Amino acid sequence: MASTKPYLLRAIFEWAEDNGFTPQVLVNAEAKGVEVPVAHVVDGQIVLNIGSSAIQLHVMDNECVSFSARFSGVEQDIFLPIDSILAIFARENSQGIFFDDANDEGLDPEPSGPATISSSEPTPIKPKEKAKRDTSHLKIIK
């Protein structure tokens, strides 16, 4: 099964562009195959503006994001394997998706079994907790 990550990247990119936001990606600059200007890498990561007004997009597919951009006035080719992208978000409001740093193989994690309690003793409920549970947060409006 194909990974959902590249589809989510394209969706957030399109959403940001449609709403006049600046789509940016947070990239693990130390990941295998990443080609970014090393001078702009901080703590092994780099944030790149991938808005259509800032770059000339070559490819955004299931394998990579590739584009040309200017850094200090010099045009450079950027290559980002999908696995290297840690997040995509709008610069203006930080809304987007932050991916797990683990390898995404396109599969949902295995569902865990039902929760079990290791103790055979019931957990006592403190009076304050009981009062909170017995009080509704809903109000009656007439």
CATH number at residue 9: 2.30.30.220
More confident position, 34 or 135: 34
Query: Could you give the percent of the chain with pLDDT greater than 70?
Result: 70
Element (H, E) at 47: strand 45-49
* CA atoms of 5 and 61, how far apart (whole Å): 10
Enumerate the β-bridge partners of residue 65. Answer: 60, 80
Q: How many residues does the chain have?
A: 142
Domain count, the chain: 1
Instruction: Tell whether 20 is covered by a domain.
Output: yes
Tell me, what's the pLDDT at 100? Answer: 82
Instruction: Tell whether 83 is covered by a domain.
Output: yes
**pLDDT of residue 29 exceeding 60:** yes
pLDDT digits (tens, 9 = 90+) for 86-133: 999 999 999 999 998 554 444 333 333 333 333 333 434 444 444 444
**pLDDT of residue 135 exceeding 70:** no
Q: Check if the beta carbon of residue 12 is closer than 8 Å to that of residue 88.
A: yes
Instruction: Tell whether 128 is covered by a domain.
Output: no
Instruction: Tell whether 115 is covered by a domain.
Output: no
- DSSP string of 59-104? EESSSEEEEEEEETTEEEEEEEEGGGEEEEEETTT--EEE--SS--
Instruction: Tell whether 116 is covered by a domain.
Output: no
Tell me, what's the pLDDT at 125? Answer: 42
Of 128, 115, 112, 100, give the one whose Cα is nearest residue 3: 100
Instruction: Tell whether 22 is covered by a domain.
Output: yes
Instruction: Tell whether 104 is covered by a domain.
Output: no
Query: Could you give the percent of the chain with pLDDT greater than 90?
Result: 65
At 40, the amino acid letter reads H
Instruction: Tell whether 14 is covered by a domain.
Output: yes
- Boundaries of domain holding 46: 5-98
